[in-house]
Amino acid sequence: MTAATAWSGDHFIAGDVALDFANTVYRRRPELGADLLTGAEALAAWLDRARLLPAGSGTSHVVTDAALEEARALRGLLWAVFDAHEDGRTIPAASFTGLLDTARRGSAHVTVSPDGSTTSPEPDGVLAILALGAVALVLTPPPQGIRACDRCGWFFIDSSRGRRRRWCSMKTCGNQAKAARYRSTHS
Ligand SMILES: [Zn+2]
């Protein structure tokens, strides 16, 4: 059995929770890496860490393997939609429809607060929140756009001053890219 991923701040670097959810694989480029959603427990821990669950709701026991499959399917939709956005292509209609279907299936379990924050005690409600977040992102994109890490393909919103952020994080991909460049010019 694979150990559950220990989520840390390094897994929440995107500046948006739907993008962070899309980034729950070790890497997306140059080829798909290991799945960090190793099981229902890892998904429950991620949702808790992302503060999508009401405090103390103890949702971990209701995150089933079926919910995990739905979460992975939603993540596939997010990849299709955000890849298109990042490439400057039209959002694929089937993937967009998939997001709306996910949102509708769980919407009865979503609580929307006056400040716009959303929570749900049910996994399908939480997936609805993530799907709605993705819909909101592509309909009202941040002015700086959605980018993907040059090295691993993780998505992020580039809020750096010069809008020249290239890496998911300087600590991981940024330093590895610099080290690779150093090796190639000093060998
Ligand atoms: Zn990266």
What is the mean pLDDT, run by run of 10 residues, along the chain of 187 residues? 78 96 96 95 91 68 88 98 96 98 96 91 93 96 92 93 88 83 74
Which residue type is seen at 28? R
- Centre of ligand 1 from the C-alpha of residue 125, in Å: 29
- Centre of ligand 1 from the C-alpha of residue 115, in Å: 32
**Residue 123, exposed/middle/buried by CB under 10 A (0-12, 13-18, 19+)?**
buried
- In this prediction, residue 90 carries a pLDDT of 97
**Count, residues in the chain:** 187
- In this prediction, residue 187 carries a pLDDT of 62
- Centre of ligand 1 from the C-alpha of residue 7, in Å: 16
- Centre of ligand 1 from the C-alpha of residue 80, in Å: 18
- Centre of ligand 1 from the C-alpha of residue 2, in Å: 23
- Centre of ligand 1 from the C-alpha of residue 95, in Å: 24
- In this prediction, residue 2 carries a pLDDT of 57
CA nearest 118: which of 129, 134, 102, 106? 129
- Centre of ligand 1 from the C-alpha of residue 168, in Å: 4
Q: Using N-to-C axis directions, what is the helix angle for 123-139 and 65-87, rounded to 10°?
A: 0
CA nearest 167: which of 154, 179, 180? 154
- In this prediction, residue 183 carries a pLDDT of 79
- Tell me how far apart the alpha carbons of residues 153 and 86 are, in angstroms, rounded to a whole number: 11
Kindly report the CATH class assigned to 9-185: mainly alpha
- In this prediction, residue 56 carries a pLDDT of 65
- Tell me how far apart the alpha carbons of residues 19 and 51 are, in angstroms, rounded to a whole number: 15
Cα-only R_g, the chain: 17
pTM for the model stands at 0.91
**Residue 115, exposed/middle/buried by CB under 10 A (0-12, 13-18, 19+)?**
exposed
